Amino acid sequence: MPEETALELKEYGKVKARKYESVTVLFTDFKGFTSYSEDLSPEALVETIDFYFSKFDAIIENYGLEKIKTIGDSYMCVGGLHGEEKNHAVRMVSAALDIVAFVEETKNDIKATELSFDIRIGINSGPVVAGVVGTHKFAYDIWGDAVNVAARMESMSQAGKINISEMTYHLVKKEFICTPRGVIAIKNRGEMDMYFIEGRISEVTA
């Protein structure tokens, strides 16, 4: 958990929940990993997950983002917490592009052929509540509609693509090339505008 949260927990035995009005949440998921993992030994499964997530950790740390948790082969992180509010959406999309690039490099690495996958990424921005739950195994987590929509962005993405919501689009459109996907119906959510990130505008105009 974040250092300031850990210090608060150590001093008071609990952590006061905090609401953040604007953060950016990212989810990743590997296409076909579940079926692939059925044929792996436990050791190989952990090694494969660690290979990718260790690199993801390094990428998000580089952009001042916060890892929240991993669930199976899904990775979740957030930007905009704990004094890192500035440009959180831009930093998150930049990290997502680096993650996609790393996954693609791995696919082209003959030595890592058996470890290669396609990845889907979804990103959304909005308010969340952050706090700590549990009494023995403490877990720092975030909650809110922004988290749920980010998860939907991931599930509605495509292999090798970064799918962002309209909320995130308005925060990053001056920095990145965004291709509109139009209005797409989402189960239990209604219709939402989505965009694919195609790259940095600066790289095209340079």
The confidence band for 110, taking pLDDT boundaries of 50, 70 and 90, is: low
Residue 122, pLDDT score: 98
Residue 143 belongs to a domain: yes
Residue 1, pLDDT score: 54
**Is residue 151 over pLDDT 60?**
yes
The confidence band for 52, taking pLDDT boundaries of 50, 70 and 90, is: very high
Residue 7, pLDDT score: 60
CATH number of the domain encompassing residue 111: 3.30.70.1230
Residue 117 belongs to a domain: yes
CA triplet 100, 88, 53: central angle to 5 degrees?
Answer: 35
Instruction: Answer whether 156's CB lies under 8 Å from 122's CB.
Output: yes
**Is residue 100 over pLDDT 70?**
yes
Element (H, E) at 101: helix 88-107
Residue 186 belongs to a domain: no
Residue 82, sorted as left (phi over 0), alpha (psi -120 to 50) or beta, turns out to be: left
Measured N-to-C along each axis, helices 42-62 and 88-107 cross at an angle, to the nearest 10 degrees, of 140
Residue 84, pLDDT score: 72
Residue 30 belongs to a domain: yes
**Structural domain for 98, as ranges:** 3-173
Q: What is the mean pLDDT of residues 173-191?
A: 91
Q: What is the mean pLDDT of residues 147-168?
A: 96
Burial status of residue 138 (CB atoms within 10 A of its CB: 0-12, 13-18, 19 or more) = middle
Please give the tally of structural domains in the chain: 1
Is residue 137 classed as helix, strand or coil in its secondary structure?
coil
Residue 166 belongs to a domain: yes
Residue 191 belongs to a domain: no
Residue 93 belongs to a domain: yes
By DSSP bridging, strand 162-165 and strand 118-133 are parallel
Phi–psi pair at 144, nearest 5 degrees: 140, 170
Q: What is the mean pLDDT of residues 98-125?
A: 85
Q: What is the mean pLDDT of residues 178-190?
A: 89
Q: What is the pTM of this model?
A: 0.89
The confidence band for 187, taking pLDDT boundaries of 50, 70 and 90, is: confident
**Is residue 121 over pLDDT 70?**
yes
User: How far is 48 from 51, CA to CA, in rounded Å?
Assistant: 5
**Is residue 56 over pLDDT 60?**
yes
Better-predicted residue by pLDDT, 46 or 142 = 142
The confidence band for 200, taking pLDDT boundaries of 50, 70 and 90, is: very high
Residue 106 belongs to a domain: yes
User: How far is 127 from 144, CA to CA, in rounded Å?
Assistant: 7
